[in-house]
Amino acid sequence: MNPRQDFPFFSKRPELVFLDSAASTQRAKPVLDAMQDFEESHYSNVHRGSSTLSEEATESYEQSREIVATFIGAQPEQLVFTRGTTEGLNFVAQARTYASVLYTELEHNSNVLPWKMRARQTFLMKPTDLTITPDELNEALQEHKPKLVTFTHTSNVTGITNDVKELCKVASDNNVQSVIDFAQGAASSPIDIKKVPCTFLAFSSHKMYGPTGIGALYGADLEAEKPFQFGGGMVDAISENNITFSPSPQKHEAGTPPIVQAVGFAAATTYVKEHQRYIKDNVKGKLAKALTEALHSVPGVSLVAENTFIGSFTTSHHSHDVAYLLGAHNIVARSGHHCAQLLAKRINPTGTVRASLGIYNTQEDIQQLKEALEQTMKKLA
């Protein structure tokens, strides 16, 4: 069965060619069903009351943690729920003050700003190509000697995936902690944290067919980290002069957490896991290739990277004009710097148009993009 049928959005909006999954994906029916069932039959606050209903909700919430942790090969106590990748990265940057952090030119602003604001010193690594090589990373680590290095798993501008396993090994060989921004990898690249020696990894549910408002942060040793928010649910005992926190992960989840979203997030990881083969063969395989061919075939279009599930391209026109005119053909694509201003500037000062694929896209979608782009380019000529 084509996974497109798992997405009610497309029967409600059949006119749209949705090519903006890198920004946020549509939600899968099993995700919506899991959340609706929980809302209707099991909802209560968690880790609070001693009622059976509260225990039931707590069990579902903690089971969701276990499912999401298992998705990346981690233990439940190594995973905290966050609002998304951005909050996960901010957590790491705020939990301690890092003396020095190395980041790269390929990063989303969410993996630049927290370090710029919190670390004492930051160093920018500019890879020669649009990927980070272990040799170049090693050189940068030897030169700057940072305490921590942070890099994207997959670029949200190019769709190029870095060899994070090798990069983390280089970091640990240099005695440097590592952070992986897994926002764009979670829906398309399975990861087993036991084989990737990173210190932290952050991702978002809404980029992998799950709900917004929730993400996860993996930490190799979260118990060792200080909480970065304070409130109910994270404290064990409090007196006028003494406070003891709950053990991790509770001590990192102050306040009422996104309970229903956690259930949806877990269902999304299950959905992605069940479709990993399809995603590899189609989204990252046949469709990515077809997208490259389609964009190459349109005169005046230059592709930033080939055969990836993110087709970013430039033309001699402003990216916003091109995306706007594509919109008139019902193509939902993105334009601009995609919150990765350092990389966007390097590629093209006015940014790129980005057509990104999800599990529900088809060859027909790509054909429609090609036809719309041909007409757009003629109109702008």
Show which residues are catalytic. Answer: 339
Determine which residue in the list 34, 183, 266, 369 makes contact with ligand PLP, applying CB under 6 A.
Answer: 183
Contact between 312 and ligand PLP per CB under 6 A: no
Determine which residue in the list 110, 177, 248, 335 makes contact with ligand PLP, applying CB under 6 A.
Answer: 110
Q: Which residue matches tokens 């109910």?
A: 232
To the nearest whole angstrom, how small is the minimum distance from the Cβ of residue 113 to ligand PLP? Answer: 11
What residues from 150 to 179 belong to the interface with ligand PLP (CB under 6 A)?
Answer: 152, 156
Determine which residue in the list 60, 64, 78, 86 makes contact with ligand PLP, applying CB under 6 A.
Answer: 86
Contact between 85 and ligand PLP per CB under 6 A: yes
Q: Which helix (H) or strand (E) holds 81?
A: strand 79-82
CA dist., res. 92 & res. 88, Å (int): 7
To the nearest whole angstrom, how small is the minimum distance from the Cβ of residue 89 to ligand PLP? Answer: 7
Closest by alpha carbon to 356, among 183, 192, 193? Answer: 183
Contact between 108 and ligand PLP per CB under 6 A: yes
Contact between 356 and ligand PLP per CB under 6 A: no
CB 355 within 8 A of CB 311: yes
Q: Quick one: DSSP state of residue 161? A: B
Closest by alpha carbon to 107, among 144, 157, 145? Answer: 157
- Classified as helix, coil or strand, 264 is helix
Cis peptide bond prior to 8, omega within 30° of 0: no
Contact between 204 and ligand PLP per CB under 6 A: yes
Residue 302's Cβ-count burial label (10 Å; 0-12, 13-18, 19+) is middle
Contact between 104 and ligand PLP per CB under 6 A: no
What residues from 241 to 280 belong to the interface with ligand PLP (CB under 6 A)?
Answer: none
Total binding residues toward ligand PLP, as defined by CB under 6 A: 13
Contact between 20 and ligand PLP per CB under 6 A: no
**Residue at 200: amino acid letter:** F
To the nearest whole angstrom, how small is the minimum distance from the Cβ of residue 85 to ligand PLP? Answer: 4
C-alpha distance from residue 334 to each of 51, 251, 295, 325, 338 (Å): 47, 38, 15, 11, 8
Q: Which stretch binds ligand PLP (CB under 6 A): 28-36, 73-81, 83-91, 317-325?
A: 83-91
CA dist., res. 251 & res. 244, Å (int): 10
Q: Which stretch binds ligand PLP (CB under 6 A): 105-113, 128-136, 275-283, 322-330?
A: 105-113
Determine which residue in the list 64, 177, 178, 184 makes contact with ligand PLP, applying CB under 6 A.
Answer: 184
Determine which residue in the list 28, 78, 84, 344 makes contact with ligand PLP, applying CB under 6 A.
Answer: 84
Q: Sign of the C-alpha dihedral, residues 216, 94, 242, 240? A: negative
Residues forming contacts to ligand PLP in the complex (CB under 6 A) are: 84-86, 108, 110-111, 152, 156, 181, 183-184, 204, 339
